[in-house]
Amino acid sequence: MGNQAGVLKCSMSGWGRFPVEECESVRPERYRDLTASAGRQIARGQGRSYGDAALGKRVILTERVNRLLAFDAVAGVLRAEAGVTLAEVLAAIMPHGWFLPVTPGTQWASLGGCVAADVHGKNHHHDGTFGQHVLELEMILADASRVTCSATKNQALFWATIGGMGLTGIIGEVNLKLRRIGSSYLRVRHHPAKNLAQTFALFGDPGLDDQYSVAWIDCLAGGKQLGRSILMCAHHAAPEELPAALQGSAAVGTSRSVAFDLAAAVLNPLTIQLFNAVYYHRQGNKRAPYFAHYDHYFYPLDRIADWNRLYGKRGFVQYQCVVPEAGALTAVSALLQTVSQSRRPSFLAVLKRLGVQNAALLSFPLAGYTLALDIPMRDRGVFDLLRTLDAIVLQHGGRVYLAKDAVLTPQTFRAMYPRYRDWQRIKQAVDPAHGFESSLSRRLGMGYA
């Protein structure tokens, strides 16, 4: 009760299920209804950011403004409303031999969310971020005007919107340049590393490099084995590379749901250490190259519907940071040691080498190494751990990924994002009344000096 027509009050969270907040939500179905009202609001696509980026006083759900508008199957350009999911985009473009230029680890994110967070994928070191493949955006600004922007038109708005966490306006339409592929399969090779130094050496070996690369880290292995990992490299397989059995086939994955909240107690250092040890040996022994369907390779976690519930009701924080190339080994080693010593089990730890920073002012990637860890919210002690990790990252000139953050402070944020001042000037110009505000932006004082 207490709802007015068209407005639903409900509790919401990001994908990490922490924090949970009471929000008002509206859910436009027509493009022209995708607009700001008086007061503070933030657009929310599929709620796949982990922390509080898509929470706020009022949340504009874009899920029904999700039409594909134009697809040039010859040039590989797709124009769509920003509420559409990557999965829907893939379903439309794959049959024509096109793929996303950059994909995050889930296909259930919206196009708008990918732009707002300027997401990256396993090919960042070659192809940059998602935003670098956006040809044009149509923005719906605070004054309700529709404005197109691109790298050559309204550039300031464009580079403040990419990675701008939805704070410059509502992303209405996205025009995206796609990637040509020869098959639905990837040719994958695994390279095991016994420790962190070896992992870095593998990343740096040009002989092993491929279009996509990522290292899965057994983050409970300590001592001499700290940072032992499996580097997984891959590229889209050309049709002639495929074994006969796969040629012309199109396997479709199925999903199964974790139907209940796994008790937080089930995940403990022992069970996760066991899982990681088994996984390391199983995957590490796959020495020969193999072919994986894109669904399995890019979106393994999508196959476990609601995998975020694995961490129980209290949710989790996904801590993702990047540290510059110089000193990265020391920094990542310190980060892993800190997590390992805290005895807080991380189910998933991923290390990846990133390429150069782009022109988007709040974009996360920079040339160096990015580490991502799931940390369950078991008690308040988690915050102390995260502050310690922040300090290490900052000391090495790195930063934390806003799309996953739930705990940064305004000071740390400003120190980590040196181009924030430039971004803030643009925010001030396009949204002087702070009509676009999320819980993330309120926590970090984004838009203010």
Partner 1 sequence: MRKVVLILGATSAIARAAAGEFAEQGYDVYLAGRDAEELARIAADLAIRYRIKAGWGIFAAESLSDHGRFFAQAISNMGEMDGVVLAMGYLGDPIAARNFDTGGAEVILINFTAAASILGHCANYLEARKQGFIIGIGSVAGDRGRQSNYTYGAAKGALALYLQGLRNRLYDSGVRVITVKPGFVDTAMTYGMPGLFLVATPQYVGRRIVTALHKSADVIYVPNFWRYIMWIIRLIPEPVFKRLKL
Cβ atoms of 160 and 426 closer than 8 Å: yes
Q: Where are the beta strands (DSSP E) in 62-107?
A: 68-72, 77-81, 98-99
Name which position in 7, 238, 266, 429 contacts partner 1 (CB under 8 A). 7
- Bridge partners (DSSP) listed for residue 81: 173
Among 14, 28, 51, 368, binds partner 1 (CB under 8 A): 28
**Residue 147 to residue 160: CA distance in whole angstroms:** 14
Name the β-bridge partners of 226. Answer: none
10 - beta bridge partners? 23
Q: Which is nearer to partner 1, 78 or 446 (CB)?
A: 78
Window contacting partner 1 (CB under 8 A); options: 61-69, 327-335, 347-355, 382-390: 61-69
Q: With respect to partner 1, which residue has the nearer C-beta, 108 or 311?
A: 108
Tell me the C-alpha distance between 322 and 331, whole Å.
10
First to last CA, the chain: 39
Find the part of the chain contacting partner 1 (CB under 8 A) among 22-30, 203-211, 217-225, 369-377: 22-30
CB of 69 to partner 1, least distance (A): 5
Decide if residue 126 touches partner 1 (CB under 8 A): no
Question: Residue 71, interface with partner 1 (CB under 8 A)?
Answer: yes
Q: Considering beta carbons, is residue 108 or 417 the nearer one to partner 1?
A: 108
Our finding on whether 39 is near partner 1 (CB under 8 A) is no
Q: How far is the CB of 289 from partner 1 (least distance, A)?
A: 34
Residue whose CB is less far from partner 1, 71 or 290: 71
Among 22, 37, 39, 67, binds partner 1 (CB under 8 A): 67
Work out whether 271 is an interface residue with partner 1 (CB under 8 A).
no
87 scored as a contact of partner 1 (CB under 8 A): no
Q: Which of 22, 37, 39, 70 binds partner 1 (CB under 8 A)?
A: 70
Q: Does 69 bind partner 1 (CB under 8 A)?
A: yes
Six-digit token pair at 126?
A: 């070659």
Cα distances (Å, whole numbers) of residue 31 to 28, 99, 193, 397, 436: 8, 26, 50, 42, 18
The answer to whether residue 8 forms part of the interface with partner 1 (CB under 8 A) is yes
Query: Shortest CA distance to 111 belongs to which of 83, 139, 149, 69?
Result: 83
Interface with partner 1, residue 4, by CB under 8 A = yes
- Can you list the alpha helix ranges (DSSP code H) found in 251-397? 269-284, 294-298, 328-342, 381-395
Q: Is 30 in the site for partner 1 (CB under 8 A)?
A: yes
The torsion of the CA quartet 246, 247, 250, 253, rounded to 10 degrees, works out to 20
Indicate the residue among 6 and 381 with the shorter CB distance to partner 1: 6
Rounded to the nearest whole angstrom, what is the least distance from the CB of residue 90 to partner 1 in the complex? 12
**Of 435, 348, 270, which Cα lies nearest the Cα of 16?**
348
Structure tokens at 199: 């992992």
68 binds partner 1 (CB under 8 A): yes
Q: Which is nearer to partner 1, 126 or 146 (CB)?
A: 146
Neighbouring residues of 69: CB distance < 8 A, sequence distance ≥ 6? 79, 80, 81, 173
Among 15, 45, 88, 431, binds partner 1 (CB under 8 A): 88
Total residues at interface with partner 1 (CB under 8 A): 26
Alpha helices (H) along 343-430: 381-395, 410-416, 420-430
Question: What is the DSSP code (8-state) at residue 349?
Answer: E
Report, in Å, the least distance between residue 298 CB and partner 1: 21
426: its two tokens? 């643009």
Q: With binding defined as CB under 8 A, does residue 433 bind partner 1?
A: no
Q: Using CB under 8 A, list all residues that contact partner 1.
A: 1-9, 26-32, 64, 67-71, 81, 88, 91-92
